[in-house]
Structure 1
């Protein structure tokens, strides 16, 4: 949060300095307010929340079953042969591994929930960003910030993008 505040102050100071050379138009939007006012976004978010809750419940049930197997094993291990103990331990370990893999497949960074989120929410976000860019271009805004989140700059006029110049400097 401190870095964001510092970035904002530095950018505003830069904008103030640049105002002497040419006036820059800066605006902000509240992306959270925009997203929550779109019915399709709310429906997609509800669908994702329900899916996540369903999957989490399934995973919790599996962990409960594993706990039951472990408790049963603890109670009966004194009556088991070494081979039986090893087989039970391996079965419990395998089931734990299976559940951890299921959890990663569903909730991991490239998991099913993330992919579903991309399918449902990305088109809505793309439409919003396109609307912001169109608005910025039509009204000659140089920068548009998201004041609700951590996204920072949502739109920046290409004339202020110095990425290629920095890359050329690094290559020399």
Structure 2
């Protein structure tokens, strides 16, 4: 799902919108903490001139502002905060569109099950011939061949193939045990 949704223009637009909200709310929170910092510096500068009652009053005002800023931060960025709600709201149409495409592909291909490999379903093996991501992307109007060509081009430029040793061979096992003994 993540792979497919990330290729949709609607997803990119939702991500941009989320970033705008996140930055706006983060600035508001920074401003609140800047105000608290200003209040603390002013209190420290005037502390020796204040009576005990005025000191307690200023300290309480600062504590109230800190609690208010912390509550606002939780309200925005908490588990069920406004950012989470906004993300859910913006992603709902994208996820519904992908779900409709998945349903259509499953119906056309007469599939009874389709698993999301990126989820916590714990698949140990999947045969690549059963990967229907390309069909779902085609259903959504995304060219999977262009995506794969772009991915292969990036991989070819940035990475060289790496040969990993096969640990099941007796020779490899004895080499590994010798290396482990030396360490």
For residue 45 of structure 1, the aligned residue among 15, 25, 31 is 15
Is 1:108 the counterpart of 2:78 in the alignment?
yes
Runs of 5+ in structure 1 lacking a partner? 1-30, 154-172
**Correspondence for 1:141 among 84, 89, 111:** 111
| Equivalent residue in structure 1 for 2:59, among 83, 89, 94 | 89
Following TM superposition, by how much is the alpha carbon of 1:151 offset from its aligned partner in structure 2, in angstroms? 5.0
The alpha carbon displacement at 1:65 in A equals 1.6
Match of 1:150 in 2: 119
Question: Separation in 2 of the partners of 1:72 and 1:63?
Answer: 14
Residue 79 of structure 2 aligns to a residue whose secondary structure is coil
Pairing partner for 1:70 from 28, 35, 40:
40
Q: CA separation in 1, counterparts of 2:120 and 2:15?
A: 19
Alignment root-mean-square deviation, CA: 1.8
* Structure having the larger proportion of residues in strand: 1
Q: Any idea what SS the aligned residue of 1:68 has?
A: helix
- Name whichever of 134-143 and 98-107 sits farther off: 134-143
Question: What TM-score, normalized by structure 2, do the two folds share?
Answer: 0.60
Q: Of the two structures, which has the highest relative contact order with CA contacts closer than 8 Å and spacing of 6 or more?
A: 1
Q: How many residues align?
A: 122
4+ runs deviating over 4 angstroms:
none
Structure whose CA Rg is larger? 2
Alignment TM-score, normalising by the size of structure 1 = 0.64
Gaps of 5+ in 2: 123-183
Provide the residue aligned with 2:98 in structure 1. 128
Matched residue of 1:145: which SS?
Answer: coil
- Alignment CA distance shift 1:126-1:152 (3 Å): farther
